[in-house]
Amino acid sequence: MTQAAFFVLTALADQPRHGYGILREVEELSDGEVQMRVGTLYGVLDRLTADGLIVLDREEVHQGRLRRYYRLTDDGVRALAAEADRMAAGAGAAKKRIAEGRRAPAPTGVTPARPATGPGLAGGLA
């Protein structure tokens, strides 16, 4: 699942939203890290709809413009939960490896790497 799809599904997890509402929610959920363009959003919405993860909830006219509201399907809820679990497991594995790497003693017989002092072999200085 792409990052954009994950955040769109997350934005729809608590209630149906229209396109602009989804864009704002995605930006908020990602602390500003994900700022989707309208074209990207509608491509993601089309793909999620085709995959059966979201459906059109309703359409409303607001100030002369049509707003389409989307909501998660049961399959969408399951896919979002599975992706969140997968991401959490991956983050847990990374944290465990980091912690183990910091505690592990340096292997015997291995000389720690020297800090680089110049360009190295390719640059002619060693």
Percentage of the chain surpassing pLDDT 70? 83
| Selected residue with higher pLDDT from 6 and 109 | 6
Is residue 121 over pLDDT 60?
A: no
Is residue 90 over pLDDT 70?
A: yes
Is residue 85 over pLDDT 80?
A: yes
**Per-residue CA distances from 88 to 43, 66, 75, 109 (Å):** 26, 38, 20, 37
Is residue 4 over pLDDT 80?
A: yes
pLDDT at 75: 98
Is residue 118 over pLDDT 70?
A: no
Average pLDDT, the chain: 88
| Selected residue with higher pLDDT from 104 and 9 | 9
For residue range 22-50, list pLDDT tens digits in order.
999 999 999 999 989 999 999 999 999 99
- Predicted TM-score (pTM) of the model is 0.77
pLDDT at 103: 72
Question: What one-character DSSP code corresponds to residue 120?
Answer: B
* DSSP-based three-state secondary structure for 119: coil
For residue 71, what are its two tokens? Answer: 């909501």
Average pLDDT over every residue of 56-60: 95
